[in-house]
Amino acid sequence: MLTSHLHAVFGAIVVTFGFWLVWGELPVVLVAAIALAVAGFLVWRGKTIAHVWAWSCVLLGLASAAWPMATMVQVRMEAAAGADPSDEAMEQILTAVVAGLVSSVFWISFGSGIFRWIKRKKLEQAEVEAEVADGKRSQKQSQNRR
C-alpha cells in the first residue's frame, strides 16, 4: 500500500510537470493545487502500481491534448484586441497542434495498453485459480470414490 502511494506521488510530479510544460509559467499555488489534486486522484484510483502509472499516462495524454488549446488561448490573450496573430504565433499554434496530437495519442494509447495488460493478468490469474480449484475438487472426488 505504501509503495503505491509513493508511486502516486511520483506520478503526480510527472503529470504536474506535464501540465506545467503545457501552460508555461503557472503560479506556484496553482502548481501545488494540481499536484495535490493529481496525487489524491492517483491514490484514490491507483489500487496497484500499474494502475497508478496507467492513470498517470492517461492524465499526461489529457494534458497533451490541452496543449493546443492552451497555446491558442495564450496567443489570443497576447494579440491586441482585433489584431490578427502574427506568423510566428500561427507557427506556434501549428507546432502545438501537431506535437500535442501526437503526444496525446501516444500517452493515452500507452495508458490504455497498461490497463489492458492489467486486465489480461487478472484473467490469467483467475484461470490459474480456477484450474487449481478444479484440481483440488477432482482429488477430493477421487479420494471419496475409494
Q: What is the pLDDT of residues 108-117, one digit of tens each?
A: 999 999 999 9
Q: Are 95 and 28 in contact (CB under 8 A)?
A: no
Interval 40-96: pLDDT, tens:
999 999 889 999 999 999 999 999 998 898 888 888 887 766 778 888 889 999 999
Instruction: Measure Cα distances from 33 to 28, 36, 137 in Å.
Output: 9, 5, 54
Q: How far is CA 146 from CA 49, 105, 122, 137, 141, in A?
A: 48, 61, 37, 15, 9
pLDDT of res. 146: 58
Domain spans of the chain?
2-145
The one-letter amino acid code at 65 reads A
| Average pLDDT, rounded, for the chain | 88
